[in-house]
Amino acid sequence: MSYYEPLQYVVPPEEDGFILKTILQKRLGVSRKLLSRVKLTEQGIMVNGERKYISVHVQAGDLVEVRMEREESDDIMPQELPLEFLYEDQDLLIVNKQAGMIVHPTHGHYINTIANGVVHYWQSKGERFRFRPIHRLDQETSGVLAIAKNAYVHQQISEQMIAHTIHKEYLALVYGNVEADKGTIEGPIDRDPETPHMRIVTPTGYHAVTHYEVEARFGQVTLVRIQLETGRTHQIRVHMKHIGHPLVGDKMYQLSQYQELAEQIEQTISRQALHAYKLGFTHPSTRQWIEFAAELPADMNLVINQLRIEME
């Protein structure tokens, strides 16, 4: 049996006599689910190099270690794909996702996903990890995607997402001239009862808040920077349509008033013009803030360049 590098914690004087379970949950942040798993493995929970029950008391200076078994995604077919990696360490892999790629294999899409390419990449280096995307991006959305290499890191960053302490920025091209330089959209979101795969703003929906700021205006199209307070399905697409500025290239959430313009622009870009530009969070191991950015992709830049030419 092999393990990942251990999580380590040296008990300080003020925690002398604490119960080991308290150290694991309050200081190392090990969830109840993960704790129930690692305590059953031979080297899962160690104090000063010896296996211990979580009910024991620790002393100042004790070295507490938590080890997780190495895993791999046996159900994902390795496939060599041209992925762009922005960052990697023993805990994380950050990918600049291309538009058109699905993150994880689904029914009918077993290959050509980010997961297939990442598993192949790890195997080519002789490494074993289970594919654990920390968040999802729509198939047509490009940009920064974070992948955890073990259950602890996945849990820690997921908790940051729930607590809204993660920083996420998107860049989007939207139809129309967005007049306000910045604004906030508050509109509850839920499924459209007439078209269940779509979402709408409705008083009975789930709380959703989107902040936007204009980056540049190109006549009938505006480039906006967007930050989310909540993470509802299709939130950006639904909210921007709600204020009369649907995303360029978005065939699902469109307004008839932009039909002629859409037909022109969509000859240049064949997907919704949405890019996950920036992602920042506290690294679970170092406890330091880290941030990643992916520059605007070629198809969105091409639309912007064409619009600039038309304005001259």
Q: Could you give phi then psi for residue 263, rounded to 5 degrees?
A: -60, -35
The CA distance from 149 to 17, in Å, is: 33
The CA distance from 154 to 133, in Å, is: 8
Cβ contact 156:269 at 8 Å: no
One-character DSSP codes across 65-132: EE--B----TTS-------EEEEE-SSEEEEEEPTT--SS-BTTB-SSSHHHHHHHHHHHTT-----E
Cβ contact 94:146 at 8 Å: yes
Cβ contact 143:98 at 8 Å: no
- 91 is annotated as an active-site residue: no
The CA distance from 217 to 24, in Å, is: 51
- Write down the catalytic residue from 16, 89, 91, 138: 138
Q: Could you give phi then psi for residue 274, rounded to 5 degrees?
A: -130, 130
Instruction: List Cβ neighbours of 136 (8 Å cut-off, separation of 6 or more).
Output: 103, 104
Annotated catalytic sites, by residue?
138
